[in-house]
Amino acid sequence: MRIKHKVWVNTADDTSMEDLHYGPAEAKRLVQTDAYDQWGGGSFNIPVSSNEDLDLGDVDNVKGIYLQSDSEVTVTINGSDTPLQLRKANTSTGSVAKLFIEGDITSVNVANASTDTAALGHIHIWGSSS
């Protein structure tokens, strides 16, 4: 199985992105690995003022996740005492809150603090059977 991802983060002082503080070369943005043999994922719908442990499916050793939500949610990884607050970059229609991480992951809990809107989103995971 092959996994590819490209995280492209650039920061600059100007909106024309000419005075870059950070911006890796194109060749360094694409990551490709054939080291894993399992993947999984699915969508979630977390009711108002609720939380849910997301199903990691049949992936025995999760090594990475991509999570996206249409709402600002908190995510707790591996039972941590400190959840991560995900924020949308802006309030425009279609804006989403995102989390991408590579590491050893044993659990993912998503909490929706909203009192009027369900949190809709999806998670994609990858890892190995050994």
pLDDT for 48-71, tens place per residue? 999 999 999 889 999 999 999 999
Q: Out of 12-16, 61-65, 83-87, 97-101, which region has the weakest mean confidence (pLDDT)?
A: 12-16
Q: What is the pLDDT of residue 56?
A: 92
Residues of the chain with CATH 2.60.120.10: 36-128
Asked if residues 116 and 92 have their Cβ atoms less than 8 Å apart, the reply is no
For the segment(s) 36-128, the CATH number from 2.60.120.10, 1.10.1370.30, 3.40.50.720, 3.40.640.10 is 2.60.120.10
Q: What is the pLDDT of residue 121?
A: 97
Alpha-carbon distance 90 to 33, whole Å?
A: 32
pLDDT over threshold 80, residue 1: yes
For the entire predicted model, the pTM comes to 0.86
Of residues 7 and 76, which shows the higher confidence score? Answer: 76
